[in-house]
Amino acid sequence: MNVELFNHGLQVLGDTAASQQLEQFKVYAQLLVEWNQKMNLTAITDADGIAQKHFLDSILPLYYVDIPQGARVADIGTGAGFPGLPVKIMRPDLSLTLMDALNKRITFLKTVVAAIGVDDVLCIHGRAEEFGKKKEFREQYDFVLSRAVANLRVLCEYCLPFIKVGGRFIALKADGVDEEVNAARPMIGTLGGKLEKVIDAPLPGTEIVRKLVVIKKEKSTPPQFPRRPNKIQ
């Protein structure tokens, strides 16, 4: 990881990282590169790319959305831990659940969590459409984050069942998300959500502008959701 680039990005965002946090990011980056040689975790493995397109990109929501101390956060379809784990490193007070359908990725994440020494992180191998129906997970989270998993309409059905009434879903999306947002509106309403805002979040040191789609959970999700994957699609 390019520490200089990361620190400069944090400066632009009006933040700094303690030496322990920088060390955690370095260990995470090292493990990401090592494990990526034996399994497909990411296409981005260069030091600059990891600093900007993985770590800085993942933590953008922290600077645009107020996430209270001690909030319960879930990252659904986390992959190699993005955006959830970088958010946790920057905000150790948060309680984090990382969920992915591929067990190999969960094994990787457990290794990272142990190596960097963060606590209150639950790594779960499972499918959102199954765990979203379990009472110990359904409507238990203040915030759900998701990055680059699926089309927004589909993503909402996977993620909104996990969120408490009054909580929020933050989807990290790319430019040109307006069409996706419009197509997802009816489903957002059906699931008990309401589109709050779409935030332009420039990624420091790049030309990229990340779109943060913020959806507020206004009422409980009807019990038939989430449906089976073929129905969702």
Cis peptide before 83 (omega within 30 of 0): yes
Q: What is the pLDDT of residue 231?
A: 73
Q: Residue 140's pLDDT is what?
A: 98
Condensed to tens digits (0 to 9), the pLDDT of residues 90-148 reads 999 999 999 999 999 999 999 999 999 999 999 999 999 999 999 999 999 999 999 96
Name the pTM for this structure.
0.95
d(CA 131, CA 90): 27
What band does 42 get if pLDDT is binned at 50, 70 and 90?
Answer: confident
Give yes or no for residue 6 having a pLDDT over 80.
Answer: yes
